[in-house]
Amino acid sequence: MSQPVQPPNQPQQPYGQPVDGNPYAGGPGQGAPSAPTGNPYGQQGPGAPYGQQPPSGNPFAGQQPDQQAPFGGGAPFAPAPPARDNLLLGIGVALGVAIVAGTLYGVLAGSIEREVGYAAVGVGFLVGFAASKLGGSNPVIVAAAAVFSIGAVYLGQLVGISMVLADVAQIPFSEVVGDHFDTVTKAWSAEADFMTYLFLALGAVAAVGGAKKAG
């Protein structure tokens, strides 16, 4: 007997029957493949080497707030603490500036053979400002600057008198200071008046003002 003829095999669709003209739609019981997007990393899972890039294109957008970005990212540097008062430095600066400023003040007074009140004020202000600027606003530094300013003005007065005596006696200035310093101090005591002491006080007051200005 002849065998019954089997109907021809139906054509097989590898991805299922197209639905609504979509060649990628899956058939019954079969998942549809994803449409190509052109991104080779688009379908990688959380464990992929590069991960899925965020839509914004920022490679650091997915980081947590507590994570630091590379190349120096993270919290800014904390400001440096303010410098502490340096007592020894302030006193040393006050002494050095007082010697230099007092000598210059004496040269000026000896050159014009008179004292200048503004110069005495300038000496005190310079001593107080420099000491407080470099050493701090410690009250001890301010007090030292005031005392050294009085000494600076006094030193300037002695230098001025020495220059005048050297000019009158026609002897070198170094000889007056080295060999006749007692004569210089006696001349200062004889010539001292209200203005002489006023200039000393002005130097101290100016030193306090200079220290406050620097602070």
pLDDT of residue 43: 47
Q: If the chain, 215 residues long, is cut into consecutive pieces of 10 residues, what is the mean pLDDT of each piece?
A: 51 49 50 49 47 52 50 49 72 96 94 88 96 93 96 95 92 90 92 92 95 88
Residue 129, classed as helix, strand or coil, is: helix
CB proximity list for 102: less than 8 A, separation 6 or greater: 123, 151, 152, 153, 154, 155, 156, 159
- Give CA–CA dist 2/128, Å, rounded: 130
Given this model, what pLDDT does residue 145 score?
96
| pLDDT number for residue 160 | 94
87: its two tokens: 């007592």
Integer Cα distance of 22 and 3 in angstroms = 41
Say if CB 151 and CB 204 are below 8 A apart. no
